[in-house]
Structure 1
Amino acid sequence: MTIPATRPADRYSPLYFLASLGAGGLAVTFFMYLFFWVPHPGQPVPVFEDVAQAFASGGPVMQGMIAVAYFGIAVLAFHNIRLLVWNIAQYRRLKGTPAWHDLTSTNAETQLLAMPLALAMSVNVGFVLGMAFVPGLWSVVEYLFPMALIAFGLIGVLAFRQLGHFFGRVLTRGGVFDVTAHNSFAQLLPAFALSMVAVGFAAPAAMSTVPLTAGISLIGSTFFGVAAILYAVVAAITGFNSMLHYGTARESGPTLMVVIPIMTVLGITFLRQEHGMTHTFGAEVSAVETLVFLSRLMAVQVVFLLLGFLVLNRQGYWRAYIFGAGDSAGAYALICPGVALSVMLQFWLNAGLVASGLVVKFSVGYWAISALAVVIQIVMVWFTFHLNRRHFGRARGSAPVPAE
């Protein structure tokens, strides 16, 4: 007799929400083409009308870039939503099962925060789709901002409820948190979720012309951003201490680089706040201050990128879980750092180097740095579909067992 073969994704883990998250992040990287390369006078982001005008008046290079951007946004947004729906269905089936009890009685309970993380990303993707594909969106955008704030607020409540259950268990009952299993940055996932809520909450601050809407956005995004920073600091310090004692958990090695997307998301949060404070409330922030701020964030990202690659290479993670026989849902955590670096490079270049006058827009140096961001993006697109084939593709045969 044989045991029917199964796909790795059939052994469900909430970490598969990261597959939806990664696809959504990549959709945003394609929107960066439009954001930084298509003129959009009159509003802080490009909308359908701006892109249509650029396509009609631009040359073959501009038209090709727009076509690639639209194709990338459409395909990856589809995968983002498809994988989100699949994950929600699997999540609901998991609840109440013995596997759910095991999950929520260990350190791994914080994996549940991958759900609000992916939900927040999908709301951001919805805005990208609206700006790129919906004519006349900007005429009603002030009515959409309060709805966005409500959506992100509800996602934030969900994240805090899940965290409250976790903290209520581990902080009131001694001995239930396994310090020996804390030897990774897996516990930074809640900080990532809270920072994703913060960046979404900050969007109206950057784009709304209504002071009340922008003010609520500033206050709410500050709350979630500060909460993310506090949690990240505590989890990183205790996690690093455990890694020094017990080594890094091999399957959780990719979490060493989760600091990279947290830095990008918080960085965009603060840039959005800065834009709102400048254009709505009359604050003054110089371009060189923004450059230094983004450079500091990138320095942190590079340090953790090097640390992550060092540990993953020493542990043979690539041979075990990316190109070998093993499969781990946590491998999807490797998409986020690449996406985050690509996006951060674009902001560092345009909001930092160009704005401060160090690089001329569309010069050779400009395109050299842009090319680096695009190369990282392309690698992450390939990596995403590589993982999808491994985890969601056809089962790899059946395992024979002796007949009784």
Structure 2
Amino acid sequence: MKKTSTQLEMETTFSPTWFLKALGNGGLAVSFFMYLMFFIEHKNPLPTFSDLSRELASHDLRAVMVALVSGVILYFSYMYFYQLAVQLKRYFAYLKTDSYRNMLGTNDEITLMTLPLTLAMGINVIFVLGAVFVPHLWDYIEILFPFAILAFLAVGIYALKLFLNFFSDTLAKGNFDFVRNNNLGQMIAPFAFIMVSVGLAASVAMSHTKATNIFAFVTSVFFLVLAILLMNIKMLLGFKSIFKHGAHDEMTPTLWIAIPITTLIGITLIRLISGTYHHFLESSPNPIFLFIVLLTLFSIEVIFGLLGYTVMKRNNYFKKFVNGDQFHIGSYALICPGVAFVVLGLFFVNYGFIKTGFISKFSLTHWLLILPFVIVQLKTIQTLNRLNQKSKVLSFIQQKFD
């Protein structure tokens, strides 16, 4: 049977890694929500529509900031859902191709984990949109938490199914290609699981229903432990191949994948610790303890950030794949680390310096500490725009040759 142009395109250009295009937009939407989280006064665990309406009514500089940030959140949320729809359409077509069947049983099968990862991000985006744009949503939050838990569990079970199919086949047949494993792309699996864990942990920190707390706590810890275990395994195997064969040029952005995983581990721990103290010990966690936890995780991110940047500069990755005329879908792996570094950085400044009383909120020192993360965020958006322009050119060329 003659293949259609769509099937030919799927076989030559598509891989599940394209879901990173949606993931990056979702991450940016959530990262801008952090400004509302840490700069707007709110009585609930999260800033809600009523809090933002109050700020908008003030007609001062904060009103401008709230309006601007809300608009940016809306834009990147739209781009997330748009890209998710586009890539899902391509993905379902891809499942019918020989390329998909040939990919199964190889190292590349792990890229299927980008779908549950992106879906879990989508639940977070919906949560943010609800908090910011839906009036009185928090009045019904205890009813909504069980549905959020079920949604994250559904994604987690789907991710577990995909991973066990790949991992069990690899263990049974011993067909893992260590030569092609000279990158950290395999860590997409723990990335997906920790995204599920952090979503479940939200109910632990914010729900006042004990049954909801306990169930969310148990399931969140399960996926947290699974993510940490796999992170260590995949990282050791990846670095073994990298040391032996050198880092894969097109996949060197995966050296930064530890950054978003570490950020999500940090937020998960904060939510689990806070929920445990508030609901079971009826107290608040020691700010110095949280400062030490976040400082440790932030240090890990800086180390991996410097390592990945040095390697990518050495092999001219930015010159070729970001600023140059070469394009690889793996370049979208640059977006989540930038987003995650900003998110953990804002948590670190707030919990590590503000809540401990080391510096005053809205002081000059506070703004100076925030500035580097704003710069990283803007650079991340610039990189995303450049990659989007390149992918548009690629799509145009493909259409001309169809």
- Identify the residue that residue 297 of structure 2 maps to in structure 1: 297
User: 1:33 aligned to 31, 35, 60, which one?
Assistant: 35
CA distance in 2: counterparts of 1:265 and 1:291, whole angstroms: 16
Shift of 1:178: 0.6
Structure 1 range deviating more: 184-193 or 373-382: 373-382
Distance, in Å, in 1 between the alignment partners of 2:228 and 2:22 is: 24
Q: Take 1:397 and 1:234, find their aligned partners in 2: how far apart are those partners?
A: 40
- Pick closer, same or farther for the CA change 1:96–1:252 going to 2, 3 Å: same
In 2: Cα distance, 1:391 partner to 1:266 partner = 31
8 Å contact from structure 1 (residues 256, 308) kept in 2? yes
1:216, 1:326 → 2: CA distance?
48
Gaps of 5+ in 2: none
Match of 1:74 in 2: 74
1:365 Cα deviation from its structure 2 partner: 0.6
Write out per-residue CA displacement over residues 362-381 of structure 1, whole angstroms, 9 at most, x where no aligned residue. 10010111222212111112
CA distance in 2, matches of 1:135, 1:9: 46
Give the equivalent residue in structure 1 for 2:56. Answer: 55
Deviations along 1:308-361, one digit per CA (max 9) or x if unpaired, are 011111111112221223211110000011101111110001111111111111
Where does residue 229 of structure 2 map in the other structure?
Answer: 230
Inter-CA distance 96–398: structure 2 relative to 1 (3 Å threshold) = closer
Q: 1:21 aligns with which of 23, 30, 40?
A: 23
Shift in Å at residue 74 of structure 1? 0.4
> Whole-Å Cα distance in 1 between the matches of residues 343 and 137 of structure 2?
24
Instruction: Report if the CA contact (8 A) 1:8-1:327 is conserved.
Output: no
Residue 164 of structure 2: aligned partner: 164
Cα offset, 1:7, TM superposition: 9.8
Q: Percent identity?
A: 35
Question: CA distance change for structure 1 residues 94 and 267 in 2, over 3 Å: closer, same or farther?
Answer: same
Give the whole-Å Cα distance in 2 for the aligned partners of 1:399 and 1:234.
Answer: 41
**CA deviation string 1:150-186 (max 9, x = no partner):** 0000000110111011012111113x11111111111
Paired residues of 1:7 and 1:393 also in contact (CA < 8 A):
no
The 8 Å contact of residues 183 and 242 in structure 2, kept in 1 or not, is answered as yes
For residue 86 of structure 1, report the CA deviation from its aligned partner.
1.2
Q: Provide the C-alpha distance between the structure 2 equivalents of 1:336 and 1:9, rounded to a whole number of angstroms.
A: 26
Q: Which moved more, 1:124-133 or 1:215-224?
A: 215-224
For 1:337 and 1:316, how far apart are their aligned partners in 2? 19
- Change over 3 Å in CA distance of 1:383–1:341 after alignment to 2: same
Query: What is the letter of the counterpart of residue 119 of structure 2?
Result: L
CA contact (8 A) 2:10 2:90 kept: no
Cα displacement (A) at 1:400: 11
- 2:83 is matched with 83
Question: Is 2:132 aligned against 1:115?
Answer: no
d(CA) in 1 for partners of 2:111 and 2:100? 11
Counterpart check, 1:383 vs 2:383: yes
**Equivalent residue of 1:361, what SS?**
coil
| Paired AA for residue 15 in structure 1 | T
Distance 1:298 1:104, change over 3 A: same
Partner of 1:245: 244
Could you tell me how far apart the structure 2 residues matched to 1:66 and 1:160 are?
Answer: 39
- Alpha-carbon distance between aligned partners in 2 of 1:33 and 1:72, rounded to the nearest angstrom: 11
Following TM superposition, by how much is the alpha carbon of 1:142 offset from its aligned partner in structure 2, in angstroms? 0.6
**How far apart are 1:394 and its partner, in Å?**
6.8
**Aligned residue for 1:136?**
136
In 1, are the aligned partners of 2:11 and 2:98 still within 8 Å (CA)?
no
Q: Which amino acid aligns with 1:356?
A: T
Q: Do the aligned partners of 2:11 and 2:99 also contact (CA within 8 Å) in 1? A: no
Q: Find the aligned partners of 1:399 and 1:56 in 2 and give their Cα distance.
A: 49
Aligned to 1:215: 214
Structure 1 pair 245/393, CA: closer, same or farther in 2 (3 Å)?
same
Q: Which amino acid is 1:178 matched to? A: D
Residue-by-residue CA offset, 1:1-57 (whole Å, 9 max, x unaligned) = xxx9x999981121111111110010011111111111102x111100011012213
Q: Secondary structure at the match of 2:57?
A: helix
TM-score relative to the length of structure 2: 0.94
Q: Secondary structure at the match of 1:251?
A: helix
Shift, 1:250, TM fit:
0.9
Q: 1:110 to 1:394 in 2, by over 3 A?
A: closer
* Partner of residue 271, structure 2: 272
TM superposition shift of 1:111: 0.5
Give distance in 2, aligned partners of 1:243 and 1:301.
Answer: 19
Work out whether residues 318 and 324 of structure 1, in 8 Å CA contact, stay in contact via their aligned partners in 2. yes
Over aligned residue pairs, what C-alpha RMSD do you find? 2.0
Instruction: Give the 3 Å change call, closer, same or farther, for CA 145–10 of structure 1 in structure 2.
Output: farther
- Cα separation, 1, equivalents of 2:173 and 2:291: 46
Separation in structure 2 between the aligned mates of residue 94 and residue 56 of structure 1, nearest angstrom:
50
Structure 2 match to 1:181: 180
Residues 332 and 387 in structure 1, CA contact (< 8 A), matched pair in contact too: yes
Task: Sort the Cα spacing of 1:218 and 1:231 in 2 relative to 1 into closer, same or farther, 3 A.
Answer: same
How far apart in 1 are the matches of 2:210 and 2:29? 30
**RCO (CA 8 Å, sep 6+): is it higher in 1 or 2?**
1
Q: 1:29 to 1:7 in 2, by over 3 A?
A: farther
